[in-house]
Each structure stands twice: as structure tokens, then as C-alpha cells.
Amino acid sequence: MNPHNFFAELKRRNVYKVAVAYAVVGWLLVQVATQVFPFFEIPSWAVRLVVLAIVIGFPIALVIAWAFELTPEGLKRTEDVDLSDERASKKHAWIYVVVIGAAISVALFFLGRYTAGNTGTPRQSEAATGSSTPQKSIAVLPFENLSDDKGAAYFADGIQDEILTKLASIADLKVISRTSTAKYKSKPEDLKTVSQQLGVATVLEGSVQKAGDKVRVNVQLLDARADSHLWAKSYDRDMKDVFAVESEVAQEIADSLQAKLSPAEASKLATAPTKDTVAYDLFLKGEFEQRVANSNLRPESFEQAERWYKEAIAHDPNFALAIAQLAICRLRRHWLTDPLSEAELADAGRMAKQAVTLAPDLAEAHIALGLFHYYGHRDYEPALTEFQRAFELQPNNALAIGFVAFVHRRQGKWDRTLDELKRSIELNPRDPYMLSGVGETYVFLRSWKEAEDKARPALTIDPHDATGMRMLLLSSLNRTGNAQEPLQLLANFPPDDLLLPNTGTYDMVIGTRGEFLVLGRNFDAALKAWETGAAAATNERQRFAAKAAIRVLAGDVPGAEPDAEKARELLEATLRDHPNDFRSLKALSWVYLALNRNADAINIARQTLELLPPEKDAVLGSGNLAGLAEIQAQTGAATEAVKNLRRLLSIPAGETISIARLKIDPVWDPIRNDPGFQQLLTGKELVGPGK
């Protein structure tokens, strides 16, 4: 058959007409699938299935058009049909199909363009629709450990964490931080409640089974609002391929949620933190132990995490993530439990800089360097630069924006602090650390009701959250002016929790439990609290100093001398190695009071304030000023004490000083009848937040 006859035959057999009609109707079906399916929350794989079916059906339709003709008697082979009878009645029918299909397709196309143009980012869509849950949002729930070795839970946690970290780098997604998902079961019974509590549309459930060098990872993506299944997948791989599994799962989720990825984000999804699987396994053990340390704040947990990280780095000296996390572990231990020496601090800074050099686009490396500036030297501007860079690299990193907030709080930028903490909570709504951080900020601002409103949810999530409990106690005390209500609240708090705040005042020496017992003037109970449970097992310098300070506050200076003498030698030895250890300096000032070395007590309190005044640190600096006022009051220097108190009552310093507290706190008993002090209690001179 020559070409001319072939094309004429195509025309005679209506192949052209079928092709045009099929294309128009197919396009119509695609528009229906893409524009209408999401409205009914039909999963995206159904759209892909429709498109695939249309593509496959096109050649089949052409073959049928060539071989068969539709007649009133049914479908017949073309050779058996007399076309003269049918052609007149049906020559325009296909045109109607094409025109109607095209009109509907065009309408749906422009409708889709119009609605897409108004969707914007996930959070903009949320605002436009009034929905509190962005469509492109996900929480990765704890992965279940199905390994025979139940000690392999660290590995399941690590797989979950790495998938979550990869997703956190995608700006077009809202990804909930691990801290908020850690309290949930691997497969919660009520997904709708999870959706509401975390503010997400989807959740990822998973399980991990590790046996030798083999790994099985099962994951399923669920629509949390409808409690319906979207897709599930199983991966059976060698241990060396586990990084590819993490990348594939993250990519599959991004595709399912139709998240737009930049080239840099796509690269991060495909990048493995190390090629050494042994190093990676050791690193995951370190991650598990550091999470334990951040919860219990015990030095031995930080030490164990450090050992795992070091072993991982020994296997892969260029493992930037492990180096960064080792630096973070050391710096958090320095800030929260045991201060590092200058040499140890410098080494932590060297590791943080090495991590940034090895991996300039690694968010954790910039957090490590930021913490070196912040925790190590209170050098705020370079710390902010690093934390903000980490947030740029990982837009769902709630910890990075939280650190930005805490630095701004140290700088006395209170409104910015609240805004940034609230942004962090959007990404980490179940993190008691951030919730209690908001409560603490409100306490500084003397907004007692707002502080209580944030402290209670923090304690609901974690009953052991020391900051949340302290803020609840302080807001209650200052709202009522009565120490008995906080004591009732304290009775519900786990008795073995030490509650050692970092405030700059005497509670830094005797702990929050001792502080509120002292405020209630129950000095015997305060002493007993340091003779039983976890407090009795703490280091001797802390225990002896606490008991001496409680007796001084009770007015029993002679009775305080034996404990004070024991504490003095230990504290002075500590300060020889760590001269800027604020906790030891604070304790030593009270020990000197107990030993009737008043001039030395005031000198130590002044030294502490000079090291860190309110101008350098609006949080601990104001506490150091209050601590000096306490020592001045105890030594009878009423005029100086009142002057410092007047300043504190005019600035945000509600964690340490308020009028309600001045009226009942035994620390001010030696100057209680001073006219200047009595004038403070009226509040008439005050023009700032102390009013």
C-alpha cells in the first residue's frame, strides 16, 4: 500500500477522528483527576494511575478504530460494514464529542490554574482556607524495633531520625520535630487525635528489623485526618544500603505530598552522612545516648554518648555529622551539668569548626559552632549567625530557631524571643523544653497568668520537666502572694528530681524544692530534702553548701558552720580549675556567709556580677545582681541592697524579684524594717515591669 492510500484508509476508518476525540477526552479525564480528586482527598497515586491508563489506552484505541466500526447493530469489523448508511447520520457526532470535551477540559484547566495560583506555601494555604492543618505536613512517628535483639532499639530510632532529618530540609513541607513525636506509639490507635495535637495532615509509621548485616524497613504513609492508608512499602537490604532506603522513603514522601524540591534539597535527600556502615551504627548509639542525657541531665549519660561518637569518628575521621554531634554533646554538658576547662572548651570549638569545614551545608555543624559561641563564650552575634544559617539549611529545624530565641532572650529582646519560641513550637508542638521556655520568658516579664498557661501543658507532656515545674510554682507564688499553694503543687512533682535552677540567686544553691520550702518557712523540711533521695547522692560540695545556706536563711548561722567548712574546701578546689563556674561561685558566697566571712561573701558576689552583668546577659545577669542584693541584705548593707532591688523591679527580672515575693522571702528578713525596703513593697516608685 502506497503512503497516499494508507493515509486515505486511515481517514476512511475514522482513525484520525478517534485520535482527536481520544486526546480531548483523555485530557478531560486528566483534568478531572488532578483538579477534582484532591478535593475528595483521593490519594495522589490514583491520579498517576489515571494518567498511565490513558497513555496505555491510546494505541489500543487506534488499533480498534482501524479494525472495527460502531454500528446500530454493535461493533463490527470495518470490512463488513456498509459505511454509506452510517456516514450521513454520524459524520458530525465526533465533532460534538470533541467540542464538548474540549470546553470542559479548558474550564477545569483554568479553574486549576486559578486555585493553584492562590494556594501559595503550605502555611499560606492554611491561612487562606482557614484550616489549621497544612496539606503538606507530616510527622514521622517512632519506628518499632522488630529485631530479635531488643537492644537494637537505637537502630530503629536512628532510621526514623535520619528520614525525619532529610524531610526537615524541604522548605515546602511542614515537618514536626522528633521531640514532639517521641511520646507516641509506633502505631497509635487514634490518628485523628495525633493529627490535631501535632497539626499535621499525614503521618509515617514504620518498623525496622536488623539481623546481622541485613535490614528490613517497613513504612506506610497515612492520612491522619481521615485515618486512611495512602501507601506502604517494604525494603529488604544489606546494611550498606540502608542509606539508600532512608533517601528513597524521604523522596517517596515528598512526591506523595507534592512537595517542590530545590536542586540543593534534592541533593540532600540523596546524600549519605557516611559510607562506613560500622561508623554509622556507632553514631546511632551515640545519638540514642545523647537523647537520654538531654532528658536526665546526668554526666554519665553525656560521657557514654561521647564514647560512641568518638568510636564512630575513629572509623570515619571525616564523618562530619558525628563530629558535630560530639561537639554539641560536650557543649550541652558544659552548659547544663559540668563546666569544661578552657582547653576542653577550645577543643569543642575546634571540632565544631572542623564539621563546618567538612560539610558547609550541614545544619548540625552550624548548630555546633553556634553553641560554641553561645554556651562557650556568650558571644551572641556569631552564635545567631550560625543558628540562622542552620535554619536556612533546614527550614523545619525547631531547635535552631529555638536557639535563636534563647540568644535574643539573653540580649533582652523579649518580644522577639516570644515570637521565635512560638515559631519553634509550631514545628515542635509537644516539646516541653520550648513550652516551658515560653513560660519562663513570661515569668521574666511578670506576666504570671500567661506563664502558668504555658507551664501546665509542658508538665502534661513531661511531668519531670524541671523548668516547667519551676515556672508553675513561680507564677502561682507571684499571682497569689502565698507560698502554700506552690508547696501543694510541688508535692505532685517527682521527689527525686533535683530541680537545680541556673538563676544566680540562693535557689541556685539550695534547689527549687528547698527554695519553696524556705519561702514557706519550713526550714526543717528543706534540710531533710537534701538528706534523702537523689539530693543525698549528689556531689558533696553541692549538698554541704545547700544545707549551710538553708541554716543561714533560717537565722542559724552557728549551726551552718560545720557543713560550710566541709563545702568551702571542695568549692575552692573546684574554682581553682574552673574559675568562672557560676554555680560554685554562688555556693561559695553563701558558705562564706555561714563562716562569718561577710567581706569575702560580698566580694565573691561582686566578682560573679562583674563576670556576667545584666548588660551582657539579661537572664543570668539579672540573677547575679539579685544574688548580690541577697548577700548585701544578709550582711546588713540595706542601702546597697535596696538600690539593686529597685533596679531589678524596673526591668524584666520576674524569675528572681517581684513585690509579692519580697513580702514573704526570708532572705530579706535582715532589712525588712528598713524604710527604703518598705517603700519598695508599695510599688509606688516603680515605672517598669516591676509595677
How many Å separate Cα 178 from the centre of its chain? 7
Full residue range of the structural domain in which residue 114 is found: 3-118
My answer on whether 32 and 154 are in the same domain is no
Spatial distance between the Cα atoms of 472 and 438, rounded to a whole number of angstroms: 12
Torsional sign, CA 108, 111, 117, 123: negative
My answer on whether 42 and 108 are in the same domain is yes
My answer on whether 203 and 317 are in the same domain is no
Minimum mean pLDDT range among 65-69, 466-470, 498-502, 505-509: 65-69
Minimum mean pLDDT range among 16-20, 138-142, 406-410: 16-20
- Per the structure block, which three cell numbers stand in for 325? 554531634
Minimum mean pLDDT range among 18-32, 99-113, 543-557: 99-113
Instruction: Please determine, for residue 689, whether its predicted confidence score (pLDDT) is greater than 80.
Output: no
Q: Assess if residue 287 is contained within a domain.
A: yes
Average pLDDT of the residues in 173-197: 87
pLDDT of amino acid 326: 98
Instruction: Please determine, for residue 189, whether its predicted confidence score (pLDDT) is greater than 90.
Output: no
Q: Assess if residue 494 is contained within a domain.
A: no
Where is mean pLDDT largest: 2-11, 13-22, 143-152, 579-588? Answer: 579-588
My answer on whether 162 and 60 are in the same domain is no
Burial 468-489 (b: 16+ CB within 10 A, else e): bbbbbbbbbbbeeeebeebbeb
444 vs 689: which has the higher pLDDT: 444
Q: Encode 195-245 in three state secondary structure.
A: HHHHCCCEEEEEEEEEECCEEEEEEEEEECCCCEEEEEEEEEEEHHHHHHH
Q: Assess if residue 371 is contained within a domain.
A: yes
450 vs 225: which has the higher pLDDT: 450
Average pLDDT of the residues in 393-399: 93
Minimum mean pLDDT range among 91-105, 195-209, 303-317, 336-350: 91-105
Q: How confident is the model at residue 106 (pLDDT cuts 50, 70, 90)?
A: low
Number of domains in the chain: 4
Considering the entire predicted model, what is its pTM?
0.76
Instruction: Please determine, for residue 465, whether its predicted confidence score (pLDDT) is greater than 90.
Output: no
My answer on whether 281 and 213 are in the same domain is no
Q: How confident is the model at residue 576 (pLDDT cuts 50, 70, 90)?
A: very high
Average pLDDT of the residues in 130-150: 83
Q: Report the interhelical angle of 582-594 vs 540-553 (nearest 10°).
A: 50
CB 142 within 8 A of CB 184: yes
| Per-residue pLDDT reduced to its tens digit, 27-76 | 667 666 665 665 454 555 566 677 677 777 777 766 676 666 655 555 55
Instruction: Please determine, for residue 403, whether its predicted confidence score (pLDDT) is greater than 60.
Output: yes
What CATH number corresponds to the domain at position 280? 1.25.40.10
Average pLDDT of the residues in 515-531: 94
How many Å separate Cα 32 from the centre of its chain? 40
Average pLDDT of the residues in 524-529: 94
Spatial distance between the Cα atoms of 288 and 291, rounded to a whole number of angstroms: 5
Domain limit, last residue, from 394, 418, 444: 394
Q: What is the largest CA-CA distance in the chain?
A: 124
Instruction: Please determine, for residue 528, whether its predicted confidence score (pLDDT) is greater than 90.
Output: yes
Average pLDDT of the residues in 309-337: 95
41 vs 26: which has the higher pLDDT: 26
Q: To the nearest whole percent, how much of the chain has pLDDT over 70? A: 82
Average pLDDT of the residues in 147-162: 87
Q: To the nearest whole percent, how much of the chain has pLDDT over 90? A: 58
My answer on whether 173 and 262 are in the same domain is yes
Q: Assess if residue 524 is contained within a domain.
A: no
My answer on whether 263 and 283 are in the same domain is no
pLDDT of amino acid 67: 66
CB 198 within 8 A of CB 427: no
Average pLDDT of the residues in 588-615: 97
Instruction: Please determine, for residue 88, whether its predicted confidence score (pLDDT) is greater than 50.
Output: no
Q: Assess if residue 427 is contained within a domain.
A: no
Q: How confident is the model at residue 114 (pLDDT cuts 50, 70, 90)?
A: very low
Instruction: Please determine, for residue 178, whether its predicted confidence score (pLDDT) is greater than 70.
Output: yes
My answer on whether 246 and 147 are in the same domain is yes
My answer on whether 153 and 245 are in the same domain is yes
What CATH number corresponds to the domain at position 153? 3.40.50.10610
Q: Assess if residue 23 is contained within a domain.
A: yes
Q: Assess if residue 363 is contained within a domain.
A: yes
Q: Assess if residue 656 is contained within a domain.
A: yes
Average pLDDT of the residues in 424-439: 92
Average pLDDT of the residues in 416-433: 93
pLDDT of amino acid 107: 58
Instruction: Please determine, for residue 130, whether its predicted confidence score (pLDDT) is greater than 90.
Output: no
CB 285 within 8 A of CB 278: no
Domain limit, last residue, from 362, 378, 394: 394
Q: How confident is the model at residue 121 (pLDDT cuts 50, 70, 90)?
A: very low
My answer on whether 599 and 642 are in the same domain is yes
Instruction: Please determine, for residue 562, whether its predicted confidence score (pLDDT) is greater than 60.
Output: yes
My answer on whether 208 and 255 are in the same domain is yes
My answer on whether 323 and 247 are in the same domain is no
Instruction: Please determine, for residue 24, whether its predicted confidence score (pLDDT) is greater than 80.
Output: no
Domain limit, last residue, from 375, 394, 413: 394
What average pLDDT does the chain have? 85
Instruction: Please determine, for residue 330, whether its predicted confidence score (pLDDT) is greater than 50.
Output: yes
